[in-house]
Every structure is written in C-alpha cells, then in structure tokens.
Structure 1
C-alpha cells in the first residue's frame, strides 16, 4: 500500500501522483526533498555493509583512514 502525504500545493495533483507512485511497494519512500528512495538502503557488494541512502559508500567502519603522529 502506498501512502501519499498531500499538502495544499500538491492536492490537485493527486490523480497524477497515484498514477506515478501507485505501482511502488512499501519499500520505497518519497522524501520532502523530492527523492524517491528505498526505506532500507542497499547493501554494498564489496564490504556487505549498508550504504548511505544515496547509494554512495566511500568509507566503512573498518579502516576509514590513517593517522600519523609526530613529525
């Protein structure tokens, strides 16, 4: 079931919104910034950790960088 939150700005567009988003399941959400994304982010195929919502995951918890102490 798809839930669409309406405001006064998009209330007249309800039929169009239902046509577009009616085929998606509950695993997707439409954010206030206008993004259609999965509620649970995908898993990285390299390190098997959850990616951030935009699908870009440059760092994991293991080894995010190096620290040099001293000169």
Structure 2
C-alpha cells in the first residue's frame, strides 16, 4: 500500500524532492507511519528500479517505470 502510494505520486510528478515526497505521502496515507519506514520503502523502489536518485542531487528522486 505504501509502495503503491509512492509510485502513484511519482508517476504524476516524474521528479520530486525527498521532502515533498514525504509530505505528500503523509497527506495521502490514512494511517500513521514512521519516516524511517517510508525511507525503507523508497529504497526498496530504487532497488527494484521504479525510482532513481538524481545524479547531481541525491535529495531528488526521478520516476523510471
């Protein structure tokens, strides 16, 4: 469910900073979640090549899928 929310946001935005992504996730998710858990889910999506970190700024994510 968290992964789906991240992919939904990133599919719409294409490029987003870490801070804005976390802010949007907190707004969309209707249940409490720790920022550390969100970071793990983002890293998982990077490993599975749904997202990548921007080469010039690691605080920015690019949508790949």
Give TM-score scaled by structure 1 length: 0.22
**Highest RCO, 1 vs 2 (Cα 8 Å, sep ≥ 6):** 2
- Higher fraction of strand: 2
- Higher fraction of helix: 2
Structure of higher CA gyration radius: 1
